[in-house]
Chains A and B, each alone.
Chain A
Amino acid sequence: MADTMQTTTKSTTSGGTGQAEGNLLSRFFRATEIDTRMLGMIGALLIIWVGFHILTGGLFLTPRNLWNLSVQTASVAVMATGMVLVIVTRNIDLSVGSILGFTGMIMGVLQARLLPEMLGFNHPAIWLITLCAGLLIGGLIGTLHGAIIAFLNVPSFIVTLGGLLVWRGATWFVTSGQTVAPMDANFRLMGGGTEGSIGATWSWVVGLLACLAIVAAIINARHQRKRFHFPRRPVWAEYVLVALGCAIVLGAVYIANNYYWPINIARRYAEANNIAWPEGGLFISQGIAVPVLMAIAVGIVMTFIATRLRFGRYVFAIGGNPEAAELAGIKTRWVTVKIFALMGVLCAIAAAISTARLNAATNAQGELDELYTIAAAVIGGTSLAGGMGSIAGAMLGALVMQSLQSGMVLLGIDTPFQRIVVGMVLVVAVWLDTVYRARAK
């Protein structure tokens, strides 16, 4: 909303000086109602991508690297969506990495040790029971944290700092520090990889469905505005938005489909299915990875919760003015409990993705993830002062962080130096955002 203001002020000033080009640009942004702040982030992301592409001599912007990038981002992106709500209400959650570790370990033990004894190895129900148990435990841990914060009035920083230590310790106790492996075959699909991707055909189906959804959403919004005689976007702006949205979706699908199975796996697959090995090699598309689909689904659901439900409205109102929210009759304590419970569930989803990807549950799983998650939310425009933030922004923030790391790995930069860079980027990003907001006022 601050961005509409920004565009209006920009257009009035540029209108005064009579700059034709500036006028056109600001008119474009006002007509399409594109969030200029989000645009800035996408711009930064593109600069990072192109920069690394040049520095690595063309290794970065390849289907293979982008595909891997999407899979690596999934786990932190899932948690960042919840962190937005936590930070918007002026709280913080330092325990997400440890909750990830603990729920991951529980799910590991369930699927690798307990359930196979009861149901048999690779029983088709194992992954589902495991996942549900993980979500339940994550939710309970979050509820506990939220209840202590809301009803015992202990600051969230302290409660979750305690949680960080407690759940990391508890992770060790589950197996006395042993790593649990391998994971259930069906469960492993959630980690991506050759089997955990949906292939070319289904990727196109998902892409086309997404395009239809974009068109439907824009038509619906226009009808709603018409019904109550609100100002509508010009028709050309609607077309631009549809075209832009569909191009991005289909482009992403195209890239995912251009990353093929590794030769060894393709050869084994060909032998197993009696396919003659073609002269130029067999190209089987990976398509969109399952964890990426999960992260996108989480992002859509969380955006829906944050913007279309009462609960989301209350979250932002509490962040803007806790006293006013209380006086308006909102049960602020319960909202806090629900936020942390939701955060716990999201940690469990992230745990499923990362244990499945690693094909093991370890003691150290998710260490430092709390910091990456908070950084992603903050880079994505969530204000630590509360009241401001968006789910999509946080997920983009997670992608920015992961892009930096992957790029530096490709460049062969040492881990300590990677951390130095990521740390500095975080500070600079927040500084830029502060400058932007000060100007937007």
Chain B
Amino acid sequence: MTDQHTPLVEMKNISISFGGIHAVENASVDLFPGEVVALLGHNGAGKSTLIKILSGAYKRDAGDILINGEQADIRNPRDAKKFGIETIYQTLAVADNVDAAANLYLGRELQTKWGTLDDVAMEANTREVMGRLNPNFKRFKEPVKALSGGQRQSVAIARAILFDARILIMDEPTAALGPQETAQVGDLIKQLKREGIGIFLISHDIHDVFDLADRVFVMKNGKVVGHARTEDVTKDEVLGMIILGKVPPGATPGPGAMKVA
């Protein structure tokens, strides 16, 4: 999109290995404000691992993270949240046994002036946010485990947008959803994009994300195959990148690109 600006997020030459296996090797991705970047690749390609480094769940072995052009020291999820990075995990990562409000505010509870939990205020805000996101949601008093997959998903999304996120990471956001709920998430992504939030979409299924994304990054075996603007490439070309690592003319090759003999 607006390439002349400084990127909102720049991850440069990131590497991480687990027990000698390089899960991510020398990977670089960037994201601009108001942009949706899809991170594609097979299961095990390293996309989730790369993004968990950004959200503070893993610590990188090498490489730099720049937020608005400045070095960001992200060691744990709390650090990431300080930079306005919010994550919706593939596994949803909600505490099943407490209600929606408790999940939305987990780790950032509102307190009264006596230092006690302000449950009423939290529930009121939750009702407002959920009303915007999913007007059918009525089960505020029940533990999250009693909710359907779509409802749990809206709780997870509400948690991410409640705190004025600037960078939103969505790991397989529609994996657990039906067609109608998937469309809802799509609308939400467009709305957040208009508000200037940068969004990383992670998916192994190109059809989920191609139409929503401005750019795609493709990963294979822990390396970035290449990246391209969605207007410059076709779905089939991107599929070729995912499966073979073959970089089409409209894309910029990365370290993981197939060596052409």
Contacts and interface: CB of A to CB of B under 8 A. Distances in A.
A324 interface: yes
Interface string B70-81: 000000111001
B62 interface: no
Interface in B1-54: none
Contact of B120 (A227, A314, A328): A227
A310 B111 contact: yes
A321 B94 CA distance: 7
A271 interface: no
Contact of B98 (A4, A316, A327): A316
B93 A320 contact: no
A2 B123 CA distance: 18
B115 interface: yes
Interface in A309-323: 309-310, 313-314, 316-321, 323
Contact of A313 (B77, B93, B102, B115): B102
A330 B105 CA distance: 11
A329 B107 contact: yes
B143 interface: yes
Main secondary structure of the interface of A (DSSP, over half): helix
Contacts of B92: 324
Interface in B110-150: 111, 115-117, 120-121, 123-124, 141-143, 146
Contacts of B121: 228
A327 to B, nearest CB: 5
A323 B93 contact: yes
Given A329-B78, A329-B81, A388 B106 contact: no
B95 A325 contact: yes
A109 B96 CA distance: 48
Contacts of B108: 329
A233 interface: no
A224 B99 CA distance: 18
Most central of B55, B115, B146 by chain A CB within 10 Å: B146
Interface residues of B, number: 34
Contacts of A387: 95-97
B151 interface: no
B233 interface: no
B77 A1 contact: no
A327 B102 contact: no
A324 B117 contact: no
Interface string B138-176: 000111001000000000000000000000000000000
Given A4-B142, A328-B107, A316 B117 contact: no
B214 interface: no
A240 interface: no
Contacts, number: 88
A236 interface: no
B89 interface: yes
Size category of the A interface is 20 to 34
Contacts of B97: 316-317, 319-321, 387-388
Contacts of B142: 1, 4-5
B115 A324 contact: no
B57 interface: yes
Interface in A123-179: none
B107 A230 contact: no
A316 B77 contact: no
A228 B121 CA distance: 8
A159 to B, nearest CB: 25
Nearest to A322: B95
Contacts of A316: 95, 97-98
Contact of B102 (A224, A227, A317, A323): A317
Given A4-B141, A309-B117, A328-B77, A321 B93 contact: yes
B123 A228 contact: yes
A419 interface: no
A325 B98 CA distance: 12
Contacts of A314: 107
Contacts of A320: 95-98, 143
- 7 tightest A-B CB contacts, nearest first: A320-B97, A387-B97, A320-B95, A328-B107, A324-B93, A329-B107, A317-B95
Interface of B: 55, 57, 76-78, 81, 87, 89, 91-99, 102, 106-109, 111, 115-117, 120-121, 123-124, 141-143, 146
22 contacts: A1-B141, A1-B142, A4-B141, A227-B120, A228-B121, A304-B116, A308-B116, A309-B116, A316-B95, A316-B97, A317-B95, A317-B97, A317-B98, A320-B96, A320-B97, A324-B94, A325-B107, A326-B77, A328-B93, A329-B107, A329-B108, A387-B96
